[in-house]
Amino acid sequence: MIGNYEYLVLSAAVRLGNAAYGASVMKEIAEATGSPCSVGALYTTLDRLEDKGLIITSMGDPTPVRGGRPKRLIRVTPKGRREGAVFYQIVMRASNGTLWAT
C-alpha cells in the first residue's frame, strides 16, 4: 500500500497529465494541502514510486526558462493508477460514519 504523500504525488501527476514534472507537482501539492512541498521530499518520493513501478520518469528537453536545465517528466503507470484508486477507496471506507464525511 502507498503512503499519504505518495498518494498526493500520484494524484497531482494524474491531474497534470503531460504537464507533470517536479515543480508543477510541488505546486499542485501545495495548493491541495495548503502547505509547501519540499524539493527533497518530492524527489525522494518520486524515486520510491519509480522503484515500485507506479511512475516512470524521463528527462525532457532543456528550457531557457529553467536556465537550460531539463525537466524531470512524470508519467503514472497503470499500476500507479490502480494503487491510487485503492488508497482512495480505503480512505473513503475508513471515513464512512465520521463527522467529517459528507
Of 11, 17, 26, the residue nearest 84 (C-alpha): 11
Inside any domain, residue 99: no
Task: Give how many domains the chain has, as a whole number.
Answer: 1
Helix (H) or strand (E) holding 63: none
Q: Check pLDDT > 90 for residue 3.
A: yes
Residue 92 CB contacts under 8 Å (≥ 6 apart), including other chains: none
In this model, does residue 102 exceed pLDDT 70? no
CATH number of the structural domain spanning residue 84:
1.10.10.10
For the stretch 4-19, pLDDT in tens is 999 999 999 999 999 9
Residue 52 lies in a domain: yes
Is 102 inside a domain boundary?
no
Say if 101 falls within a structural domain: no
41: domain range? 4-94
Quote the pTM value. Answer: 0.90
Average pLDDT over residues 60-87: 91
Residue 59 lies in a domain: yes
Q: Do 98 and 13 meet the contact criterion of CB atoms below 8 Å apart?
A: no
